Amino acid sequence: MSGFALLLRRDLRIALRRRGDVLNVLVFFVIVASLFPLGVGPEPNQLRAMAPGVVWIGALLAAVVSLPRLFAADFADGTLEQMLASAQPLPVVVLAKIAAHWLLTGLPLAIVAPLIGLQYDLPADALAALMASLLLGTPVLSLLGAAGAALVLGTRGAGALIALLVLPLYVPVLIFGAGAVNAHLIGINPSAYFSLLGALLAVSSLIGPWAACAALRVALD
Amino acid sequence: MLETKALACERGGRRLFSDLGFALGAGELLRVRGANGSGKTSLLRILAGLTRPETGTIAWRGKARDWDFGREMLFLGHAPALKDELSVLENFAFSCQLSFLKEEKNALERLGVGRLADLPARFLSQGQRRRVALARLGVASSMPLWLLDEPFAALDEEAIVAVRGLIEGHLAGGGLVVLTSHQEFPLAARAERALALG
Amino acid sequence: MLFKFASPQTFFPLAGKMIPWFGALAAVLALAGLYVAFLVAPTDATQGEAYRIIFIHVPAAWMSMFLYLVMAGWAGTGLALNTRLSGMMASAIAPTGAMFTFLALWTGSLWGKPTWGTWWVWDARLTSELILLFLYLGFIALKASIEDPVRADRAGAILALVGAVNVPIIYFSVQWWNTLHQGASVSLTRSPSMAMTMLAGMLLMALAAWTYSIAVILARLRTIIRERERDMEWLREAMA
């Protein structure tokens, strides 16, 4: 079995036995999205216009909330050290963990998002765009988030610090992701947004793992 | 086979050791002694490639270590490195496969934890966890270099005998062992060197 | 020759000598720039006198961007070459960079009030500056949260490099966002057409900001060196 498959299977198996963690993130996402109408009022046209941004911000916050778990447990019990000392290339280790994170966070968010979109009365084509933009954009959140999670290993106040480090980097994904859905609402062609999301995915799949590997080596020095 | 020159280590602003050099060949054992905090663990982690030394070089088989070094080196640190959510057997299988080793169930039995194979690791005591971690020694004879940090800590009589047997077997087969230990156990080796830190 | 000054020990006295020169130069350039800004440049047809704050706002924004890239450059050098001084330099730059970012935001706000009637405008430059401020604060916070200074330098360097790569992407995406959502441009970026005098004034202020930065950063660097190398013999002798 390849190293990537070995690590991915391990992470998924562990998550399956700690289902609570995964569900908590999903519930958090739904709660955040439900808070906005309570904050700004139930007027349907206003909510419909806000919906792409609200769902995307919810996804961003849910990703940030799930990031501390990415490396912290393995760091604490010594398994991360074993991975670094083994002959497995570190980029493979990092990519496997990122893939597991996305399968457990980003993918469920993308699947649940259309339900939230219905709460905001988004039309069908916008709902499809919402799911598509999240499917394309949430891997970026995992890739860049992994770098943030690795940088704060072993420091005090890791949770809030990760948010500060990672949210500014999430701004482009937010703009293009929400923009793609918004394009459907205002009747313009969204293809440019999806291309840009694709470009972001390409760039972050280079920077994210590089930074995470470098940061893990620093943390375990 | 393992050679270091002028190794220096600095942690937390303190120089732990400097100008450390030694050579270790097949079948030889290196014991690292020293008080707590004297740098024994740091030295082992430098040899394993986890920590960067301040200065100095390390050569394996005459050349600088490359990415393939991990295939020939087994590192056992302080932490047993077990996931609470996985069973003993799952943990053991994972750590073996991570190092490209074939897991064998009787390796667990060798250290007296075979009967715990299907138990989730969270139910194990400290000593039992250590024994699961050490079980890897039973399948790692193909990895020449063993770096063991306090292998005898938290073990009972029976387990100590088993671990000593594994280490001696490895040395007899031409392997190299570097270990740190507070306790003195005689170990049969072709040659034994000692290093005192601090 | 460059490597001779790469150690804190040799750079410390050199930095000390440079500070007063750059400080004096900064004062002269600032006076010249302000003279142009308030006395030479003509009054704007549409915005009146309030637009003069552009002479602080734009150079501050330029410096904030420039300093981030310089900071990332030093940090990256320290990561690649394992030099102590590079990491200290990055730490010294960060607060000044953050200060200029804040200054750009504050002057932007002061400009917005008489021009648009609001204390904040979500235009592309101001929004980008805001995110840049977050990047600076993140860098400072990360370094502050790691005890070991060498480890802090290395972690900070990784973050700064990731930030540096992302800054153009962020700026681009914010520009896109702004032009799309605001048809009629509510923008401070649409400054009045550049008369030669105005450009001269802004350049003078930019140079003043740059020389000021060098002086302040070197002073801060000396403090950092003092703190980090306090156990070293050479420092005790230098201070005696």
Question: Who's near C84: CB < 8 A, 6+ residues apart?
Answer: C7, C8, C78, C150, C153, C228
Query: CATH number of the domain that B87 lies in?
Result: 3.40.50.300
How many CA atoms within 13 Å lie on the side-chain side of C164?
Answer: 19
Give the distance from residue A114's alpha carbon to the nearest chain B alpha carbon, in angstroms. Answer: 33
Asked if the model's pLDDT at residue A158 lies above 80, the reply is no
Q: How confident is the model at residue B70 (pLDDT cuts 50, 70, 90)?
A: confident
Contact A215 C174 (CB under 8 A): no
CA distance B86 to chain A (A): 7
Say if residues C75 and C161 touch (Cβ distance below 8 Å).
Answer: yes
Q: pLDDT grade, residue B194 (50/70/90)?
A: confident
pLDDT of residue C183: 46
Average pLDDT over residues B148-155: 89
Number of separate domains in chain A: 1
Among chain A residues, the shortest Cα distance to C133 is held by A168
Q: Within an 8 Å CB–CB cutoff, is residue A215 touching chain C?
A: yes
Which range of residues forms the domain containing residue B114?
2-197
B50 and A220 in contact by Cβ < 8 A? yes
CATH topology of domain C13-239: Four Helix Bundle (Hemerythrin (Met), subunit A) (1.20.120)
Per the CB < 8 Å rule, is C162 touching A211? yes
Quick check: A167 contacting B, CB < 8 Å? no
List Cα–Cα distances, A168 to A162, C131, C135, C163, in angstroms: 11, 6, 7, 9
Domain ranges of chain C: 13-239
Report pLDDT for B182: 78
Of the candidates B52, B84, B97, the beta carbon closest to that of A221 is on: B52
Q: Are C174 and A214 within 8 A, CB to CB?
A: no
Chain C residues lying within 8 Å of A204, measured CB to CB: none
Q: Indicate yes or no: CB of A85 within 8 angstroms of CB of B48.
A: yes
A78–B70 CB contact, under 8 Å:
no
Complex ipTM: 0.92
Q: How many domains are contained in chain B?
A: 1
Backbone dihedral region for residue B49 (phi beyond 0: left; psi -120 to 50: alpha; all else: beta):
left
Q: From C176, C156, C157, C179, select the one nearest C168 (Cα to Cα).
A: C176
Nearest to A81 among B73, B77, B84 (CB): B77
Domain extent, residue A24, equals 3-219
Distance CA A67, CA B73 (A): 32
pLDDT at C184: 42
Residue C233: predicted pLDDT? 62
* Residue C186, pLDDT score: 45
C139-158 residues touching A, CB cutoff 8 A: 141-142, 145-146, 151, 154-155, 158
Q: Does B80 touch chain A (CB under 8 A)?
A: yes
Tell me how far apart the alpha carbons of residues A157 and A20 are, in angstroms, rounded to a whole number.
23
Along chain C (240 residues), what's the average pLDDT of each consecutive run of 10 residues? 66 86 88 82 69 86 94 93 89 96 92 82 88 96 91 94 94 85 50 68 89 92 86 65
Q: How far is A214 from chain C (nearest CA, A)?
A: 7
**Residue C178 has what pLDDT?**
83
Question: Tell me: the pLDDT tens digits for B77-122?
Answer: 888 899 999 999 999 999 999 999 888 888 888 888 888 889 999 9
pTM: 0.90
